Amino acid sequence: MAKTSYPKHYKSLLGEKETEHAIIFLKDFFQLALSTELNLTRVTAPLFVRKGTGVNDDLNGVERPVSFPAKALNEQKLEIVQSLAKWKRLKVTDLGLEKGFGIYTDMNAIRPDEDLDAVHSLYVDQWDWEMAIDEKDRTVFYLHEIVKKVYRCIKRAEFFIYDRYSNIKPELPEEIKLLYSDDLAREYPNLTPKEREAEVARKYGAVFITGIGAKLPDGTIHDGRAPDYDDWITETGDGHKGLNGDIIVWNSVLQQPFELSSMGIRVSPASLKAQLEERGCPERAELMFHSKLLKGELTQTLGGGIGQSRLCMFLLKKAHIGETQVSIWPEKMIAECKKNGIKLLQLN
């Protein structure tokens, strides 16, 4: 269990039953806002995929997916998804979607290696979305236009909650600040990436940090990114690298930076090959997904994920993600939450 600090004198602004209602209202509102803003069609998503196809998300490459043998498939190993980053691109290709149109879905995942704290759970739920784009749109400028649209949906959702629960005051800025990870490294050379996030999130209220996974001036990276979905190696044309990033806001309840979304333009055949080499896993090129991509058989896309429980936690001003989802927590954490006035949505 990761070390967790809880806000002093915390009291939820909504009761448990009221919270459950608010979660449903908020989720219904946000997914409609997102789908209409980005021209996304709702699709059904898998809970598990076949092991060894390259479709599952490897995250940072060290997290173990939950796997199990399927009796009806001659004991073939299946894996619970860790996200749908690559599956969505296959789906967009299969549907033959026109440029500027896409899909969204509910993604439910289990991440057994997660370090548990107030914002990290074994259970992950998010809206995963993906849209077809033109080759000419593989620019950081186009990415940033989509970021602004996603942020507008978050802002609308904030007002939606305030309109129904007047004691939950809006606090997000009107616009999101667009930043680059290498600029932050130069501006705050003595801070860790997480400390840099804290500085800018506190300063601006909401930021999009571009270039997650790309090498910084000192050879390190701001944060890990798998090499086979987001493009973090391509030159942006304005002196930076990376066509991806994270939306991070300032969480006034926890007094810390709070990631709501990860998104990016997906790899091209050239950038996939380069990123597999840089991460030391060129053998992945033989897997089904990677082979199709390298042959030019997959639609060029842009996509991302938005945490459902996280968005609810942030907009409802909760102190623990267990107040907006049901998961399993260490007994020590349950006791600490109870001591600090935090009511988790679970029986134990």
The residues carrying an active-site annotation are: 57, 111, 126, 246, 259, 262
Query: Helix 140-164 vs helix 308-315: angle between axes, to the nearest 10 degrees?
Result: 50
Query: Which of 333, 348, 347 lies closest to 6, judged by CA?
Result: 333
Distance CA 215, CA 274 (A): 13
Q: Please answer whether residues 269 and 296 qualify as being in contact, where contact means their C-beta atoms are separated by less than 8 angstroms.
A: yes
C-alpha 144 chain-centroid distance: 16
Which of 306, 293, 304, 311 shows the shortest CA–CA distance to 243? 304
3-class SS string, 269-329: HHHHHHHHHHCCCHHHHHCHHHHHHHCCCCCCEEEEEEEHHHHHHHHCCCCCHHHCCCCCC
How far apart (Å, rounded) are the C-alpha atoms in residues 10 and 14?
A: 12
Which of these, 265, 194, 199, 223, lies nearest to 60 by C-alpha position? 223
- Angstrom distances, CA of residue 265 to CA of 25, 57, 168, 239, 261: 30, 16, 34, 18, 14
CB atoms within 10 A of CB 68: 12
d(C-alpha 276, C-alpha 228), whole Å = 7
**CB count, 10 Å around CB of 213?**
25
